Structure 1
Amino acid sequence: MSNYIMPNYYLKVFYVLVLLLLPAAGSILGFNSTAQIKCIDRERQALLNFKHGLIDFFDMLSTWRDDDNSRDCCKWKGIQCDPQTGHVTVLRLRGGSFPQYLTGTVNITSLLALQNIQHLDLSSNRFLWSHIPELMGSLTNLRYLNLSYSYFCGNIPTQLGSLTHLLSLDLSHNYLLRGDIPYKLGSLTNLRYLDLSYNNLDGKIPSQIGNLSQLKYLDLSENSFSRTLSFQVGNFPSLDTLRLAGDFDVKAKDAKWLSNLGSLTHLAFNGIHNAEALQMIHSPKLRELRLVDCSLSDTHIHSLFYSRSNFSNSLTILDLSSNMLTSSTFQLLSNFSLNLQELYLSQNNIVLSSPVHSTFPSLVILDLSYNKMTSSVFQCIFNFSSKLQNLYLRNCSLRDDSFLMSAISITNSSSSLVSLDLSSNLLKSSSIFYWFFNCTTNLRTLELNDNMLEGPIPDGFGKEMNSLEVLSLFRNKLQGEIPSFFGNMCTLQSLDLSNNKLSGNISSFIQNSSWCNKQVFQSLFLSDNQITGILPMSIALLSELEILLLDGNCLEGDVTESHLSKFSKLRLLSLSDNSLSLKIVPNWVPPFQIISLELRSCKLGPSFPSWLQTQRSLLYLDISENRLNGSVPKWFWNNLHNVESLYMSQNNISGAIPNNISLKLFNRPSIFLNSNNFEGKIPQFLLQASDLRLSDNKFSDLFSFVCDQRTYVMATLDLSNNQLKGQLPDCWKSVHQLLFLDLSNNKLSGKIPVSMDSLVELEVLVLRNNNLTGELASTLKNCSNLIMLDVAENMFFGPIPSWIGENMQQLIILNMRGNHFSGHFPIQLCYLKHIQFLDLSRNMLSKGIPSCLKNLTDDGKEHQHK
């Protein structure tokens, strides 16, 4: 559930339509059927060059072709042209509903030929780790620029300040954008819409933002700005939406500009801990007010709403989540605004007693999650509002006795309610299902996950809840067979029964249902139960499935391509941890493009599954523990551009990984290839992984892998139990962001190299059981974040360095056994206040460990000295 994004989204749509005066007949996909003049050749070629840098897994640019039938780029998807001149004016490549998106490189140089472009939308794509191109500032005719939700990183280029015709700029929800807001954005004096929310911007908000006097919408929330609010919002006489979030030091005397915002209709002040400043809100047109995490008490709310009743008739949305409010505020608000439609009070100190009498005549959405309602009683009706449609009571300590029935109460049931969230409560008895189908029969969404529900689900539930579309029951203790009535609930689209104790034969569930909902049924979650039997061919009846999760059960038998041949829309499939055998013919071409495929321990082997070559959209792949033999074909590595997680561990895969692959891993994936028989050199393209596990193989060369002139953002590297030999390479700056490094149980020799002083973020360093020698290099001084240092079973000599205690005070585990350290125990080790395991045995120390080290565990004490 999103309390914040959806209203924001509709406002964006409104402003875009108003500000840009888009033709009502314009296609959302950008087709221009009325254009009489074909596109200009050089602009068509520019678009094709731009396409060349993109990776289009989902055929979003399928119409962008350089053939005789598609030469008119004005008819390409996402393109609009001026009907008089043929110049491209609109490029709209917004990613669609999941999982459609573009990735790759934004080659803005190619677009410089489009000097008449006014509208550029690259939002909702995955340009992970790409910077916003500085040359975007050269498209000086732009009126609309939207790069939101596209994972851009780095700084906002100052060159965007050159787009002086810009009316709308949206860089929100990139999360990795950092640095200051460029002061040159203050030059965009025509700007009406500015959204920089949900990034990692810091520093001061430049005072030049106050120059944007025509702004109607301003959102700077969810960043890391300094506490000073250095611009005057009072300079925005037309502003109707303002969203700020963060620990701004807004003094009451400096907040007078709030009282001047007479046009304000939407205000969000999240995380601003100054209740006095909130008293300056004078907005008779205010429709939405969000004061989340502002340390507000009942007194503050009483003062604000009693003294500022000038917006009591206009307010329709109020969010006071994550404050310190009690039931007193809840009672006050029920009398405050007759027009209040949405009320969010989650994570407060509200304790509602029995019965609940507060009434809100217009309320449609109410969120009381994460409050205490242990003594509340609902007799077939939630007495909050006769118009209530969405009620969220997550984690409210509700018990079975909170839900009672009587003949009278059934007559007055909550007929308007369509969505109910009772997840993470204390519900146990399956009798709660009787309450639902007697009292809330119009529900479309019901969430009961993370309770303690036991026993079977009664048959009456399936017969009466005939409007239900989404049912979530995961992480309970439900028993018995999967009720076949779920297949007779003709509107059901998503069913989640995972993490229960359901048993019985899956064939009975599939074959004993009418599946009148098969045209709308999209998601089936049955993971982690005790379901038995073979997967029946009749599973193909559910041809509209997008998600099928059956992992962690007791299924057995063969799964062939015939089981899966009808699933053209399948996006997530998990069959892991059963007793299944996948027997798929090598030349099979699946009808789907899968995003997440989990086939752990499914007996895929011995040959590598060649049908994976057709899957170009994989983000997550787990084929570990599958008895795979032989080498991995080169095409597989070349298809990993988009992968986020790859698990191939615990097979019998052998051979070398090709080292001549020029592959860009756009998503900095986790790659687990451990416990195989890979050998030879480690290819450098694997340096792009964020988490790389290569332990228990036969890799032999570390130097050619680590020594790259480029730098990478790898966090975890595990190369333990290989056949690495030679000296430790002196080029660790390329992976200076490492948090975990394990090179144990190899044949590495020589001294610890100087460049290891660049590993300042390192938390775990394991060099155990090699042939390393010399004194323990002082270059490790910089590794002050270490919590584990293990250099046991090497040939280090000399005194134990005193700087270990001085510089590594976060250490929990220190293992130096089996070396040639000598001399006294340095008293500086007494600075290790967090140490729990210390092993210095099998060295040549002259004294034992002093009593100053009090935190050693029993295991640690066994190895204190020798």
Structure 2
Amino acid sequence: MLLFLLQSIISLATTGRGVLNHCREKERKALLLFKQGIHSDSGLLSTWTNQEDEDCCNWKGVYCSKETGHVQILDLHGSFYSSSVYLKGKINITSLIELHDLQHLDLSYNDFYLSDILESIESFTNLKYLNLSYSSFVGSIPYQLGKLSHLLSLDLSYNNLDRAIPWQIGNLSKLQYLNLEQNYLVGAIPSQLGNLTKLHTLKLGSSYDDLTAIADGNNLNTECLSSNDFAFTSFINPNLTFLLHLDLSFNHLTSSTIFYWLSNFTFNLHVLYLDDNLLRGSIPNSFGNIISSLEVLDLSNNKLRGEIPTSLGNICTLEYLELSYNNLSGGFSNFTSNASWCNGHSLQQLLLSRNQLTSMSPNLSVFSSLQYLDLSDNNLKGKIVESHFKNLSNLMSLSLSRNSLTLEISSSWAPPFQLRSLDMASCVNGFGQNWTM
């Protein structure tokens, strides 16, 4: 939906060719003023010249309304793949204030070192799309962003922003995409973000120096609060039914109560990243029954204990499951047996390394779409036989190393797969030489 809306913006604007009204003079001067503080070795702004009767709607990265000639899109994003295709310098967004009709501003993947996002950002009242990611912005997130009532997408990720998220962001009632990951934010997530009922993607991974609190105790079942080990602050209410993608990775979350919080307030979640936190306790047995639409689940690099919940096998849409680097114990045969009728045909990556798992599943062949399997560095015991891999024709990477497994596989056996990566260190007995490409 968001992509469709952004495409609609672009369809309403064009470069100077075919524009009925040429670039407005005030807007041309504003763009030239903006250019003064920056430069590009790649010639990104080479068409921005101050020649008489120059139509700025023909400039690279500038798109104007076909009817009015007003600049509606300014797209000066650099390249993630090339270190030479970007803008450099200290910019002043205030110089663009004359672009009253601007709806789309993309300055991502540039180097605006020591530039602040100024309060004057509030002047772009028609803005629907704002991307300032990967551009070395510093300072705080201006609360004036909360005045951009038409905003659909806001991306400030991978900068050097600090201090707290301003609560005024919660005023952006039309916002669908919010990405603040990879910054240096502090404090709790403001309760007003719970007002963003249209939000489908929320990324706060590695944003916080000290994120330990995320939920609203008033909205949680009392039973779920009884074992808290952090102070709850407001964040999410039950209205976030559109939320599809949630990333809270690389923070300092500690309580497994977050699983109950997610179960209460997110109903259609497809992607969940809680990796690289300090989560303790166990994954609730019912979690997979409630969050049943997940495609990606990453809980790696935490301190989770207990067994892998059987209910995760009930998530029929699950394609990626990463539970590595925890303290999970027991076996996972219940999980695989549950998966046999459901997500066995969807799961492509199963990564369970660096845990305390002890019993090997008697049957891995239920995962017919599996491409990556990593069970290394556990306490697995038992025999590995040919039937374990019978249906794994898509398998590309296999690691069973540093366990106590015995391979009882004939050297003449022809596996249904050709591996690109194989690690069987410390497994007893050999295996055929025709497992790898």
- C-alpha contact 2:144 2:168 (8 A) present in aligned 1: no
Query: Residues 399 and 425 of structure 1 are in contact (CA less than 8 Å); yes or no, is this contact kept in structure 2?
Result: yes
Closer/same/farther in 2, CA of residues 476 and 421 from structure 1, 3 Å limit: same
Q: How many Å separate the matches in 1 of 2:240 and 2:425?
A: 45
Q: Is structure 2 residue 112 aligned with structure 1 residue 294?
A: yes
Deviations 1:691-731 (A, max 9, x none): xxxxxxxxxxxxxxxxxxxxxxxxxxxxxxxxxxxxxxxxx
Q: Give the match for residue 426 of structure 1.
A: 252
Contact 2:138 2:160 in 1 (8 A): yes
Contact 2:325 / 2:353 at 8 angstroms: preserved in 1?
Answer: yes
The reply on whether 1:516 has 2:378 as its aligned counterpart is: no
Residues 303/377 of structure 1: CA separation in 2 closer, same or farther (3 Å cut): closer
What is the CA deviation profile of residues 20-41 of structure 1, one whole-angstrom value per residue up to 9, with x for unaligned ones? xxxxxxxxxxxxxxxxxxxxxx
Cα separation, 2, equivalents of 1:551 and 1:393: 30
The offset of 1:609, in angstroms, is: 3.1
Residue 316 of structure 1 pairs with residue 141 of structure 2: no
Q: Which residue of 2 aligns with 1:582?
A: 407
Task: Describe how 1:100-249 pairs up with structure 2 within 5 A.
Answer: 231-234=46-49, 238-239=58-59, 241=61
State yes or no: 1:390 paired with 2:201.
Answer: yes
CA drift of 1:274 comes to 2.9
Structure 2 matches for 1:398-413, cutoff 5 A? 398-407=210-219, 412-413=238-239
Question: Take 1:506 and 1:340, find their aligned partners in 2: how far apart are those partners?
Answer: 42
Counterpart mapping for 1:253-264 below 5 A: none
Q: Which amino acid aligns with 2:129?
A: T
Structure 2 match to 1:359? 171
Q: How many residues align?
A: 369
Give the partner amino acid of 2:140: T
TM-score calculated relative to the size of structure 2: 0.73
What's the CA shift for 1:561?
Answer: 2.3
Q: CA deviation at 1:228?
A: 8.5
Distance 1:349 1:496, change over 3 A: same
1:462: how far off? Answer: 2.2
1:435-474 alignment runs, 5 A limit: 435-474=261-300
Counterpart AA for 1:434: Y
Q: 1:265 to 1:357 in 2, by over 3 A?
A: closer
Alignment of 1:797-812 (within 5 A): none
CA 1:356–1:579: 2 relative to 1, 3 Å: farther
Contact 2:146 2:169 (8 Å CA) reproduced? no
1:472 to 1:415, Cα distance in 2 relative to 1, 3 A: same
Hey, what's the Cα distance between the residues in 2 that align with 1:357 and 1:237?
32
How many Å separate the matches in 1 of 2:396 and 2:369?
Answer: 11
Partner of 2:243: 417
Query: Residue 358 of structure 2: which of 532, 536, 554 is its match?
Result: 532
Taking structure 1 as reference, are residues 280 and 569 closer, same or farther at Cα in structure 2, changes over 3 Å only?
Answer: same
- Structure scoring higher RCO (CA < 8 A, sep ≥ 6) equals 2
Match among 392, 398, 405 for residue 567 of structure 1:
392
Q: CA separation in 2, counterparts of 1:398 and 1:416? A: 27
- Do the aligned residues in 1 keep the contact of 2:189 with 2:213 (CA within 8 Å)? yes
> Which whole-Å CA distance do the structure 1 matches of 2:129 and 2:296 have between them?
27
* Partners of 1:599 and 1:496 in 2: CA distance: 20
The runs of 5 or more residues in structure 2 that have no matched partner are: 12-39, 63-68, 79-85, 221-233
Q: Give the letter aligned to residue 145 of structure 2.
A: L
Question: How much does 1:302 deviate?
Answer: 3.1
Q: CA RMSD in A?
A: 3.6
Distance in 2, Cα, partners of 1:375 & 1:354? 10
Contact 1:352 1:375 in 2 (8 A): yes
In 1, Cα distance between the equivalents of 2:359 and 2:423? 20
CA contact (8 A) 1:527 1:549 kept: yes
Q: Distance in 2 between matches of 1:267 and 1:281?
A: 17
Change in CA separation of 1:385 and 1:432 when aligned onto 2, cut-off 3 Å:
same
Aligned partner of 1:839 in structure 2 is none
1:268 aligns with 2:70: no
Distance 1:512 1:280 in 2: 58
Counterpart position of 2:433: 610
Distance 2:131 2:195 in 1: 15
Instruction: From the CA coordinates, give the structure whose radius of gyration is larger.
Output: 1
1:326 maps to what in 2?
A: 140
Q: Work out whether residues 399 and 428 of structure 1, in 8 Å CA contact, stay in contact via their aligned partners in 2.
A: no
Q: Which residue of 2 aligns with 1:370?
A: 182
Distance 1:373 1:286, change over 3 A: closer
Please give the per-residue CA displacement for 1:590-632, whole angstroms capped at 9, x wherever unaligned: 2223222222222353xx73323xx43xxxxxxxxxxxxxxxx
Letter in 1 for 2:203: Y
Following superposition, the deviation at residue 355 of structure 1 comes to: 6.0
Cα 1:515–1:345, aligned 2, differ >3 Å: closer, same or farther? same
Q: Percent identity?
A: 33
The answer to whether the 8 A contact 1:357-1:383 is kept is no
Q: TM-score, normalised by structure 1?
A: 0.39
